[in-house]
Amino acid sequence: MKSQVVTFLIKCPDQKGLVAKITSFFFEKGFNILSCQQYVNSIEDKYFMRIRLNADGTEISKKELEENFMELAEPLQFKWSVNYGDKKQNVAIMVSHTSHNLYDLLERHREGSLVCNIKMIISNHDKLRPIADMFGIPYHYLPVTKSTKQEQESQVINLLDANEIDLIIMARYMQILSSNFINHYPDKIINIHHSFLPAFQGANPYKRAYDRGVKLIGATAHYATEDLDEGPIIEQDVEPVTHESTLKTLKRIGADIERLVLARAVKSHLQNQIIVSGNKAIVFPEAGE
């Protein structure tokens, strides 16, 4: 295997000797361990590991590595994935009217802090096309109504699959995706919600936050699931506000938080830092990469 960084994500029932067995396996195959992060959920008796390996000098092929690892994994009930770091993930961004998250993602991508291929922008409105043109990203305008929703989603799915999209970012795409769409891309759709979930789910969260007189305004990035705004939470943040804050002020502050939260969540996904377990996301911090 040529020089590259290989990342394994592992989850399994907690049991004695896991670290020794896993690290010994990779040592015997000639890998140098760059970092080994682990977490034990003692309440649910589950074990999680993210291990990064330097493949310099190893003679083993990808196929042989995976077959050998499977022999270790099966008796220990591992659920695992491996990323070889040899290709950038293909990303699609879905938007409606608001531009702040889209601008931020495209700028971070251009600066190199989001390492991926942004293949396209999909929108149910044509309003944000000039932004796509500015960054040289293909823009697909696919309008949708209640009566055309199924047909429009089929068009979107065909477009995503034809371009081998690995990650879909809902950067304020103000449409509720169908179960069929979501289940087509499990743990591959990141949504930004403009509140600190589980508070103020659904539509108009800033208005409801203002009416409630909140003292913190927040945003949440999560994987989309069939249950609206209830998928595994990847990243959250908040900022203090006061009784003097108007609805306009909340929206302005919230937009800044949304940018940061969404960018962090996308980066964690692209760097293979996340293991989804039920309705929770185990997010390992960056480990020197």
Residue 288: inside a domain: no
* The pLDDT of residue 2: 59
Q: Where among 49, 65, 83 does a domain terminate?
A: 83
Please check whether residues 35 and 167 belong to one and the same domain. Answer: no
User: In the chain, how many domains are there?
Assistant: 2
Output 57 or 166, whichever has higher pLDDT: 166
Output 2 or 137, whichever has higher pLDDT: 137
Tell whether the model's pLDDT for residue 191 goes beyond 80.
yes
The fraction of the chain above a pLDDT of 90, given in percent, is: 77
Residue 198: inside a domain: yes
Tell whether the model's pLDDT for residue 137 goes beyond 70.
yes
Please check whether residues 35 and 103 belong to one and the same domain. Answer: no
- What is the CATH classification number for the domain harbouring 29? 3.30.70.260
Q: Where among 51, 83, 115 does a domain terminate?
A: 83
pLDDT digits (tens, 9 = 90+) for 3-45: 589 999 999 999 999 999 999 999 999 999 999 999 999 999 9
**Alpha carbon distance 220, 232 (integer Å):** 10
Residue 234: inside a domain: yes
Please check whether residues 60 and 137 belong to one and the same domain. Answer: no
- Give the chain's mean pLDDT: 92
Please check whether residues 172 and 115 belong to one and the same domain. Answer: yes
* Under 8 Å between Cβ of 133 and 139: yes
* The pLDDT of residue 10: 98
pTM of the predicted structure, to 2 decimals: 0.92
Tell whether the model's pLDDT for residue 160 goes beyond 90.
yes
Please check whether residues 61 and 172 belong to one and the same domain. Answer: no
pLDDT digits (tens, 9 = 90+) for 48-95: 999 999 998 888 999 999 999 999 999 999 999 999 988 999 999 999
* The pLDDT of residue 194: 80
Residue 289: inside a domain: no
Q: Where among 83, 116, 141 does a domain terminate?
A: 83
Query: Which residue segment(s) compose the domain that 108 sits in?
Result: 90-283
- What is the CATH classification number for the domain harbouring 112? 3.40.50.170
Output 26 or 197, whichever has higher pLDDT: 26
pLDDT digits (tens, 9 = 90+) for 91-133: 999 999 999 999 999 999 999 999 999 999 999 999 999 999 9
Please check whether residues 138 and 106 belong to one and the same domain. Answer: yes
Please check whether residues 184 and 122 belong to one and the same domain. Answer: yes
**152: confidence class by pLDDT, cuts 50, 70, 90:** very high
Please check whether residues 266 and 192 belong to one and the same domain. Answer: yes
Residue 98: inside a domain: yes
Residue 25: inside a domain: yes
* The pLDDT of residue 109: 98
Output 280 or 247, whichever has higher pLDDT: 280
| Highest mean pLDDT: which range of 87-101, 188-202, 208-222 | 87-101
* The pLDDT of residue 278: 93
pLDDT digits (tens, 9 = 90+) for 251-287: 888 889 999 999 999 999 999 999 999 999 999 998 7
Please check whether residues 118 and 260 belong to one and the same domain. Answer: yes
Please check whether residues 128 and 233 belong to one and the same domain. Answer: yes
Please check whether residues 147 and 190 belong to one and the same domain. Answer: yes
* The pLDDT of residue 289: 67
Please check whether residues 184 and 42 belong to one and the same domain. Answer: no
Tell whether the model's pLDDT for residue 200 goes beyond 70.
no
By annotation, the residues acting in catalysis are 229
